[in-house]
Amino acid sequence: MSKKGLVERLNGGDNVIVAEGYLFEFERRGYLKAGTFVPEVVIEQPDLVKSLHEEYVHAGSDVTLAFTYYGHREKLKFIGREADIETLNVQALKIAKEVADKTGTLMAGNICNSTIYEKNNQEANDMAKAMFKEQIQWAVQYGADFIVAETFSDFGEASLALECVKQYGNGLPAVVSFITSNSDETLDGIPVVEACKRLEDAGAAVVGLNCGRGPRTMMPLVRKIRHACKGPIAALPVPYRTTVGQPTFQSLQDPETGKAVFPEDLPAFLCSRSQIVEFATEAKEVGVQYVGLCCGSSSHCLRVLAEVYGRQPPACKYSPDMSKHFMWGKDPHFKKYYTEGLRNEFLKEAI
């Protein structure tokens, strides 16, 4: 039986849950450097990449996203590994394809902001285009079902990426998303809602937002995008407690020191599972069909999101049930010595 493609799923009214955040997860585990953020782990420890894909599918992802984010020529050149670019991309795609085939998930190729694009700089933009082209062609060659083009700050760069998917993507659908700063406009001055509309009109299968903002500050914009666009939209916030005054994870400051926490001290601002439930509930109600979590996410966050979207991925076998806890549970099996005695000791406020 052939699996349904991305567009078929979305047009049929299905939702597509997408695990992202590979860079942050591997940085946290000690296999990738914060700063350059290059997915060298694909070359150095391919088994770990495979394992993380499997873990995210286990937790509810419908998509196995090849880990080629920032595996582009500019980044590899910067760390002196330009010669490894094909090895890295091919390896990442093969791993993702293997997991996708085994699990029945969709395999996506991944391109992103080039970090060299500049409005009105033709030479830089030709280089960005060449970077998109080679990564898209590898994704096609190794069997991607669609292409994710993401974290664009400029409408111009997102348009260029979409143009490249159309030109070199052998008809594969494109999911194109913006990262928004503290402003609701792209860096090249287009309201992001309008930018999404234009990309949809230009043929993107899905448009929307990923990264940058947490659920609380991303959702007001997502609602406007839902209103403006006709087709499926994407929302993949970072799971951090951003605020109106500090709407992105780059702008979050430690209240005790006033210092920026991005990226090393971000864990203090992680969303609770309940806050992920709130996000997923709102996203579902708004009609976000392509939904997930970006940098900072991990499997337990994705699992609760999947549950709100009505799924029961294998990881739900181990979803929390505190009624079974010897101290917090109400079952008569448990001794009052613990459910009352010890529990009350833990609940006492320190004097």
Give residues in contact with Zn ion (CB under 5 A): 211, 294-295
DSSP 8-state assignment for residue 239: S
- In the complex with Zn ion, which residue's Cβ is closer, 211 or 280? 211
Give the C-alpha separation, 62 to 8, whole Å. 14
The nearest distance, CB 90 to Zn ion, in angstroms, is 24
The nearest distance, CB 180 to Zn ion, in angstroms, is 12
The nearest distance, CB 324 to Zn ion, in angstroms, is 35
Give the C-alpha separation, 79 to 31, whole Å. 15
Q: Where are the alpha helices (DSSP H) in 202-309?
A: 215-228, 273-286, 299-308
- In the complex with Zn ion, which residue's Cβ is closer, 32 or 211? 211
Give the C-alpha separation, 142 to 164, whole Å. 17
Residue 319: count of CB within 10 angstroms of its CB: 12
- In the complex with Zn ion, which residue's Cβ is closer, 95 or 295? 295
Give the C-alpha separation, 99 to 200, whole Å. 30
DSSP 8-state assignment for residue 185: B
The nearest distance, CB 70 to Zn ion, in angstroms, is 11
Segment (H or E) for 210 = strand 206-210
- In the complex with Zn ion, which residue's Cβ is closer, 37 or 338? 37
- The candidate with the shortest Cα–Cα distance to 307, out of 270, 286, 279, is 279
The nearest distance, CB 236 to Zn ion, in angstroms, is 7
Question: What counts of helices (H) and strands (E) characterise the chain?
Answer: 14, 8
The nearest distance, CB 24 to Zn ion, in angstroms, is 7
- In the complex with Zn ion, which residue's Cβ is closer, 156 or 263? 263
Residue pair 58/79 in contact (Cβ under 8 Å)? The answer is no
- In the complex with Zn ion, which residue's Cβ is closer, 42 or 209? 209
- In the complex with Zn ion, which residue's Cβ is closer, 63 or 294? 294
Q: Which two tokens stand for residue 250?
A: 């780059």
The nearest distance, CB 33 to Zn ion, in angstroms, is 16
Residue 226: count of CB within 10 angstroms of its CB: 20
